[in-house]
Amino acid sequence: MGHESQKEKTTIVLFSGDLDKAIAAFIIANGAAAYDHDVTIFFTFWGLNTMRKDEVVKVKKGFLEKMFGWMMPRGAKKLGLSKMNMLGMGPEMIKHVMKKHNALTLPQLIELAQDQGVKLVACTMTMDLLGLKQEELIDGMEYAGVAAYLGDATQAKVNLFI
């Protein structure tokens, strides 16, 4: 993993915690990996919830942090839609339609991205704000800040904010 890799680079900032936007981000990430790019997804704010484990993880938290933890979706399977969420009916409808069309689910897309070597980076500053601990996110994440993201983005031709 040299700093002067000859490969093209793609970076995506996943800010949103919406299911549809996360799916779009991971489809592009997997496509870019198939283009043999070095791909980084930088998760910040609500996007971090995409990478939460779906089980309850025992960690020490303050009252506000606990509140955030309860109110935010616990992982990729729990995200809502940006449009037509309809109290959770929308995501179930989308999942049904995606299955019909043989499209990969978000958890499958995440696994595929890891399999293809996509670098998944969690923003530590916003993790602190939302009270999320490293133990609550799926294994294999990296932890960094804006400078690390910009280090990758400066060399990349495709940089998306979703």
Partner 1 sequence: MADIVVDTKGLACPMPIVRAKKALDTLKPGQTMEVLSTDKGSLQDFTAWVKQTGNELVTHEVENGVFKFLVKKL
What CA dihedral angle connects 67, 58, 91 and 119, to 10 degrees?
Answer: 110
Q: Tell whether the torsion through CA atoms of 122, 124, 127 and 129 is positive or negative.
A: negative
Q: Which of 19, 25, 33, 106 binds partner 1 (CB under 8 A)?
A: 33
Stretch that binds partner 1, among 24-32, 75-83, 130-138, 139-147 (CB under 8 A): 24-32
For position 31 contacting partner 1 by CB under 8 A, the verdict is yes
Q: Lay out the site mask for partner 1 across 95-124 (x = CB under 8 A, - = otherwise).
A: ------xxxx-------x---x--------
Name the packing angle between helices 106-115 and 19-34 (round to 10°).
Answer: 30
Residue closer to partner 1 (CB basis): 115 or 135: 115
For position 10 contacting partner 1 by CB under 8 A, the verdict is no
For position 6 contacting partner 1 by CB under 8 A, the verdict is no
Q: Rounded to an integer, what distance in angstroms lies between the CA atom of residue 130 and that of residue 114?
A: 24
Contacts of 152 (CB under 8 A, 6+ apart): 9, 11, 38, 40, 42, 119
Residue closer to partner 1 (CB basis): 102 or 139: 102
Chain residues 42-101 in contact with partner 1, contact rule CB under 8 A: 101
CB 123 within 8 A of CB 103: no
Contacts of 66 (CB under 8 A, 6+ apart): 131
The least CB distance from residue 130 to partner 1, in Å, is: 30
For position 30 contacting partner 1 by CB under 8 A, the verdict is yes
Binding region for partner 1 (CB under 8 A): 27, 30-31, 33-36, 101-104, 112, 116
